[in-house]
Amino acid sequence: MRERVISITNVSYTYHDGTPAIKGISLDIFSGESVGVIGPNGAGKTTLLLHLNGILSSENGSVKIRGRETRKENIKGIRRDVGLVFQDPDDQLFMPTVFDDVAFGPINMGYADEEVRKRVAQALEWVGMKGYEGRSPHHLSVGEKKRIAIATILSMSPEILVIDEPTANLDPRAKWELIELLKGLPMTKVVASHDLEMVAALCERTIILDEGKVVADDTTASIMSNTALLERHGLAPAPRIIEAQSRGSNQVPSPNG
């Protein structure tokens, strides 16, 4: 039996204005797994991810990372173990240069200067961005920024990599290069997205989140072949559109008609 690295029990979160974001989510993630979390816009994917390193916390439920609850006394260790890559690299890359940004985590973790330099070099090498150390984030393309955003987390050598919408805003070439990069990373991965192509290529297990609840949790192959399920949760075109396309018709009936 593989080690259970993330254990989420009955986690709910409600925004300040009273809108519930996630409702009573429970799930376990095991060591070495690649898990895709898919769902339509506003399903609560990002909110769920923010619980994994204790940025958000649930009043009733609990999130345990390798047995430790995401409470104040454990938070430092948890944030070292769980690396969170945010969707917009302009949020992730806040330092004036690539080097300083990739070094930010390791320095905060208290490594000696030599070790920090070694980790930065390794992380940049890993994402194929060696030689970019002195560049400023506002001089980089979106694809480059995404890679460096991942490097800022890899330099902390997390056991669990949590990534929000890694392929958003990428052109197909950059997207597939990024997927190859992620495939090569050995740690446990949790990837939130509504890019089914990417999830199919990267993850062996997929969870569907809709309206703040887990509505399916199975192997990626069985979820991707269940068109009715995907369609029900806004992850595939509605049947009337598929039907119209198969008839070769330009006229798609309106939802009410």
Partner 1 sequence: MEHHPEIDEYAGLSSPIHNWDPRAKLIAILCLIFSIVLIPDLRIAFIGLVIALTLVFVSRIPFGFMLKHLKWVIMFILPLFVIVSLTPSGGIERASLISVKALSAVILIFPMIGTMRFDTTMKALEKLKIPKKLVQMIMFTYRYIFVFTNELHRMLTSLTSRGFSRRISIYAMSTTGKLLGMLFVRSHERAERVFNAMVSRGYEGNIHTLVDFKMRKADILKAAILIAIAVALNVVCLTVI
User: Smallest distance, Å, CB 1 to partner 1?
Assistant: 30
Question: CA 238 to CA 189: how far, in whole Å?
Answer: 30
Supply the DSSP string of 147-215, one letter for each residue. HHHHHHHHTT--SEEEEE-TTTT--HHHHHHHHHHHHT--SEEEEEES-HHHHHHH-SEEEEEETTEEE
User: Smallest distance, Å, CB 72 to partner 1?
Assistant: 12
Q: Which is nearer to partner 1, 162 or 230 (CB)?
A: 162
Q: Which is nearer to partner 1, 13 or 86 (CB)?
A: 86
User: Smallest distance, Å, CB 94 to partner 1?
Assistant: 5
**Which residues make up the interface to partner 1 (CB under 8 A)?**
50, 53, 55, 76, 79-80, 83-84, 86, 88, 90-92, 94-97, 100, 103-105, 107-109, 113, 116-117, 134, 136-139, 141, 152-153, 156
Question: CA 121 to CA 231: how far, in whole Å?
Answer: 44
User: Smallest distance, Å, CB 19 to partner 1?
Assistant: 16
Alpha-carbon dihedral sign for residues 84, 88, 238, 213:
positive
Q: Which is nearer to partner 1, 26 or 141 (CB)?
A: 141
User: Smallest distance, Å, CB 141 to partner 1?
Assistant: 7
User: Smallest distance, Å, CB 251 to partner 1?
Assistant: 29
Q: Which is nearer to partner 1, 103 or 216 (CB)?
A: 103
Q: Which is nearer to partner 1, 109 or 242 (CB)?
A: 109
Q: Which is nearer to partner 1, 8 or 208 (CB)?
A: 8
Helices 98-108 and 113-126, axial angle in degrees (round to 10): 130
With beta carbons less than 8 A apart as the criterion, state whether 122 and 114 touch.
Answer: no
